[in-house]
Structure 1
């Protein structure tokens, strides 16, 4: 379960991504073009410390980019090169926003979602002491054998940041498809797929396999 706050962010997530995305090796499009959201989905951090949101963004008439983000209350050690930026959250204060591919909390959540078939977390707003469901803007499904004894991902050992970003952890290899509308080969393991407004069929978003 992902509990969200009705809050303002300065700068906004899309403003951060408009600046950060053109510097990525897998970005397709001219720099300086304002990013728009096509949808997003979330995973849950069992410890309740790190926000985990994956955004699908792009220029209004350009390809969609698949961007996992983690939101932290303090900097992540050794991850300066993966910092998207900082933002002021009107409820939580300053948040450090990272490319999730380097964050062990994201890696653990992605592995859990794929191996167990749990998919995305349900999203709620707290309103006047009661919880209201937020309808997802991305529909996520999992293809592949469900493994309820899925290994804990452990530490992130290596990240190769390309069109298909590879995340090697202690026990599993994860692959994040950065431009899902560009097509992908599903042969690398159990698959997380999604569809959203403007993408009527499910396309691969990420893969997972044991070492």
Structure 2
């Protein structure tokens, strides 16, 4: 489960992505185009240290882009190239925001979500000591076997960024689809798919291929 805070971020996540996305080779848009949210979904970090959120964003009229993000309380060693930016969280303080594909915690969470069939985390707020569930704007489905043993992911060996970003780990090869679309060819592997407002038919979002 993912605990959310009723908080403000300065700059906002969309502000950060408006500046960061035009520098990506897989971005279909122009610099200066305001990025808007199409929805998102989350995974849980069992250690409770790293926030993990995947955002679906794009220009007002352009294609949807998938951007996994991780939120950390301190810089991640060796991941400067994956830094999206920093933001001030009104509850948690400064957060370092990374492209999740550069973060080993995201790789482990994605592999577990797909291969164990657990899918996305339930999102909730705590209000006066009680839990209020927030409905996700993205519906995620997975092909993995429910309650299957968690895979051994191991260390991230390399990340090859592109329209299909490949995260190569000791135990699993992961693929993140940066521009999800109905007409996209399905790749080999166990698949995580999703649908959202304006995209009622589920489309592939990510794949996992155990070694």
TM-score by length of 1: 0.97
- Answer yes or no: is 1:128 the counterpart of 2:131: no
- Answer yes or no: is 1:2 the counterpart of 2:6: no
**In 1: Cα distance, 2:183 partner to 2:165 partner:** 14
The equivalent of 1:70 in structure 2 is 70
Please tell me whether the aligned partners of residues 116 and 147 of structure 1 are also in contact (alpha carbons under 8 angstroms): yes
- Answer yes or no: is 1:52 the counterpart of 2:52: yes
**In 1: Cα distance, 2:7 partner to 2:145 partner:** 39
Please tell me whether the aligned partners of residues 145 and 190 of structure 1 are also in contact (alpha carbons under 8 angstroms): no
Please tell me whether the aligned partners of residues 118 and 147 of structure 2 are also in contact (alpha carbons under 8 angstroms): no
Deviations 1:47-106 (A, max 9, x none): 000000000000010000000000000000000011000000000000000000011100
Please tell me whether the aligned partners of residues 175 and 208 of structure 1 are also in contact (alpha carbons under 8 angstroms): yes
**4+ residue segments displaced more than 3 Å:** 144-147
Deviations 1:165-185 (A, max 9, x none): 000011000000000026333
The equivalent of 1:97 in structure 2 is 97
Q: CA deviation at 1:187?
A: 3.1
Q: How many residues align?
A: 211
**In 2: Cα distance, 1:168 partner to 1:143 partner:** 20
Q: CA deviation at 1:146?
A: 4.8
The equivalent of 2:179 in structure 1 is 179
Please tell me whether the aligned partners of residues 165 and 176 of structure 2 are also in contact (alpha carbons under 8 angstroms): yes
Please tell me whether the aligned partners of residues 123 and 136 of structure 2 are also in contact (alpha carbons under 8 angstroms): yes
Deviations 1:104-144 (A, max 9, x none): 10000000000011100000011122110001000000125
**Cα RMSD (Å):** 1.1
Give the secondary structure class of the aligned counterpart of 2:187: helix
Give the secondary structure class of the aligned counterpart of 1:180: coil
Q: Unaligned stretches of 5+ in structure 1?
A: none
Deviations 1:186-209 (A, max 9, x none): 232000000000001000000001
